[in-house]
């Protein structure tokens, strides 16, 4: 039985489906349980942690979203997991954060230091950020992507590939006991991504680079806590310096299939706009 945190989120929902396809029993953590294998879970409710962990052997760990210091709640959760005999933990982190770095990097260190069997996924930026309810997706719909990345490049990765890697980490007979930097096959600037989406939809989508401070205010206006908005905006400055300009073959090495391309993603999610003629 594997407990999936963030079970309604971008990666958690896909991890749950990937495990279900493998006939692996799951317990889906959510604040609003609706199905038999759902369990109430709230990071602010410590009692819910023990109930959710009861009888599980593995955990897909997604830290509380929007927290600048997630270890304050994740640390006690990991202690509870160890006390209840959870053997394997696979945690979601970020390619932008090394082990021990503030925030997710501290969770990376704690999982690697305490779990009997573990893996930490460090994916690049999600392709799914271009769709749905995100500032980036709103920019795509409005015809202008705004970032503080300049011409810096990112190997955007499909969340389906992240979930496939996670499912292997959670179920492979031998624990991975390492971190995986999970990327797409090609590094692209936001300008490149805008051009691909434009070509697919037949509409004009551009990219405009702004300052980190301006981006932080934009994130805050979108509802993110001010501290987390500043952290997120600062990552764009790192991208501009080239820190995310890399690709790995982790998806293919772990799952046996090549990572999905951004062109494939665009074809799947951006229908061509009819000219009406």
Mean pLDDT of 255-273: 95
Give Cα separations from 252 to 6, 27, 161, 164, 260 (angstroms).
25, 28, 9, 10, 10
Question: Residue 65 has what pLDDT?
Answer: 85
In this structure, is residue 230 part of a structural domain?
Answer: no
Our count of domains for the chain comes to: 1
Can you say how many angstroms the Cα of residue 187 is from the centroid of all Cα atoms in its chain? 17
Smallest CA-to-CA distance from 143 within 214, 187, 201 is with 201
In this structure, is residue 194 part of a structural domain?
Answer: no
Burial of 82 (0-12, 13-18, 19+ CB in 10 A): middle
Question: Residue 43 has what pLDDT?
Answer: 96
Segments forming the whole domain that contains residue 163: 2-124+159-182+246-259
Q: What is the Cα–Cα distance from 58 to 233, expressed in whole angstroms?
A: 33
Of 27-36, 62-71, 181-190, 251-260, least confident by mean pLDDT is: 62-71
In this structure, is residue 143 part of a structural domain?
Answer: no
Smallest CA-to-CA distance from 1 within 66, 38, 55 is with 55
User: Residue 275 pLDDT > 60, yes or no?
Assistant: no
Q: What is the Cα–Cα distance from 108 to 119, expressed in whole angstroms?
A: 9
Mean pLDDT of 38-55: 96
Question: Residue 231 has what pLDDT?
Answer: 87
Query: Domain with 9 in it: what CATH number?
Result: 3.40.50.720
In this structure, is residue 65 part of a structural domain?
Answer: yes
In this structure, is residue 23 part of a structural domain?
Answer: yes
Question: Residue 118 has what pLDDT?
Answer: 98
In this structure, is residue 268 part of a structural domain?
Answer: no
In this structure, is residue 206 part of a structural domain?
Answer: no
Query: How confident is residue 274, by pLDDT bands cut at 50, 70 and 90?
Result: low
Give the pair of three-digit tokens for residue 170: 């959670």
User: Residue 200 pLDDT > 50, yes or no?
Assistant: yes
In this structure, is residue 95 part of a structural domain?
Answer: yes
End-to-end CA distance of the chain: 55
Question: Residue 37 has what pLDDT?
Answer: 92
Question: Residue 264 has what pLDDT?
Answer: 96
Q: What is the Cα–Cα distance from 146 to 143, expressed in whole angstroms?
A: 10
Q: Where is pLDDT greater, at 119 or 222? A: 119
Query: How confident is residue 224, by pLDDT bands cut at 50, 70 and 90?
Result: confident
b/e per residue, 231-253, with b = 16+ CB within 10 A?
A: bbbebbbebbeeebeebbebbee
Q: Where is pLDDT greater, at 271 or 127? A: 127
User: Residue 167 pLDDT > 50, yes or no?
Assistant: yes
pLDDT digit string (tens) for 100-121? 999 999 999 999 999 999 999 9
Mean pLDDT of 78-101: 96
Percent of the chain at pLDDT above 90? 88
Mean pLDDT of 116-129: 97
User: Residue 66 pLDDT > 80, yes or no?
Assistant: no
Of 44-53, 174-183, 268-277, least confident by mean pLDDT is: 268-277
The rounded mean pLDDT for the chain is 95
Question: Residue 277 has what pLDDT?
Answer: 43
Compute the Cα dihedral for 152, 216, 126, 93 and give only its sign.
positive
């Amino acid at each position: 039985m594997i407990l999936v945190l963030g079970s309604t989120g971008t990666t958690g929902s896909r991890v749950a489906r990937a495990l279900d396809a493998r006939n692996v029993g799951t317990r889906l953590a959510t604040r609003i349980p609706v199905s038999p294998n759902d369990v109430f879970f709230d990071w602010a409710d410590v009692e819910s942690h023990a109930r959710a962990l009861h009888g599980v052997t593995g955990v897909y760990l997604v830290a509380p979203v929007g927290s600048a210091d997630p270890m304050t709640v994740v640390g006690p959760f990991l202690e509870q997991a160890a006390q209840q005999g959870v053997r394997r933990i696979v945690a979601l982190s970020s390619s932008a954060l090394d082990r021990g770095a503030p925030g997710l990097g501290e969770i990376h260190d704690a999982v690697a230091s305490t779990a009997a069997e573990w893996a930490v996924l460090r994916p690049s930026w999600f392709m799914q950020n271009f769709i749905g309810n995100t500032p980036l997706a709103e920019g795509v719909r409005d015809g202008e992507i705004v970032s503080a990345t300049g011409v810096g490049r990112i190997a955007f990765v499909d969340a389906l590939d992240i979930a496939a890697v996670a499912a292997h980490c959670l179920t492979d007979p031998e624990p991975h006991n390492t971190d995986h930097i999970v990327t797409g096959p090609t590094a692209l600037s936001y300008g490149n991504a805008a051009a691909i989406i434009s070509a697919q939809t037949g509409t004009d989508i551009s990219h405009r680079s702004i300052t980190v401070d301006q981006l932080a205010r934009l994130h805050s206006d979108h509802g993110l806590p001010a501290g987390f908005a500043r952290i997120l905006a600062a990552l764009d400055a790192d991208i501009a310096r080239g820190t995310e300009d890399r690709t790995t073959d982790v998806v293919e090495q772990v799952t046996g299939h090549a990572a999905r391309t951004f062109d494939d993603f665009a074809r799947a999610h951006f229908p061509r706009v009819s000219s009406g003629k």
